[in-house]
C-alpha cells in the first residue's frame, strides 16, 4: 500500500515544479518561471491523471482537425469554455455526456 506507486512525475515540468511562461509588458516580453499549471507546483500527479492528459490531447486534436474553436466546441458539448480548456489540459477528468 505505497502511495509512491500511485503518483507519477509530472510530464509537463518533469518534476521541476515550475515551467517557463512568457509575460509581455508594454515594451517587452520576458520569460518568467511560474508554478507548473499541470501539477500546480507539486511535481507529480496522480497516476490516473495521465489518462486525463491523454484524453485531453485526443479531444484537442479532434477539435482542431474539425476546425472548431474552444468556444464553439464548448457550446457544441454544452459545457463551459473553462471546463473544456481544463479537460484539454488534463487538469480534470474527462467530461462525459457530450453530444457526438
Q: Does residue 35 belong to the site contacting Zn ion (CB under 5 A)? A: no
Q: Does residue 53 belong to the site contacting Zn ion (CB under 5 A)? A: no
Among 7, 8, 12, 72, binds Zn ion (CB under 5 A): 12
Distance CA 51, CA 79 (A): 20
Q: Does residue 36 belong to the site contacting Zn ion (CB under 5 A)? A: yes
| 10 vs 74 by CB, closer to Zn ion | 10
| 13 vs 53 by CB, closer to Zn ion | 13
38 CB-near residues (< 8 Å, 6+ apart): 10, 11, 12, 13, 45, 53, 89, 90, 91
| 35 vs 98 by CB, closer to Zn ion | 35
Amino acid at each position: 500500500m505505497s502511495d509512491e506507486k500511485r503518483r507519477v512525475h509530472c510530464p509537463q515540468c518533469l518534476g521541476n515544479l515550475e515551467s517557463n511562461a512568457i509575460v509581455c509588458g508594454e515594451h517587452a516580453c520576458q520569460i518568467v518561471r511560474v508554478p507548473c499549471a499541470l501539477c500546480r507546483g507539486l511535481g507529480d500527479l496522480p497516476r490516473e491523471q495521465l489518462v486525463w492528459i491523454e484524453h485531453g490531447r485526443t479531444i484537442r486534436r479532434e477539435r482542431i482537425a474539425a476546425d472548431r474553436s474552444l468556444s464553439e466546441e464548448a457550446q457544441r458539448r454544452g459545457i463551459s469554455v473553462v471546463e473544456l480548456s481544463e479537460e484539454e489540459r488534463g487538469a480534470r477528468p474527462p467530461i462525459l455526456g457530450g453530444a457526438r
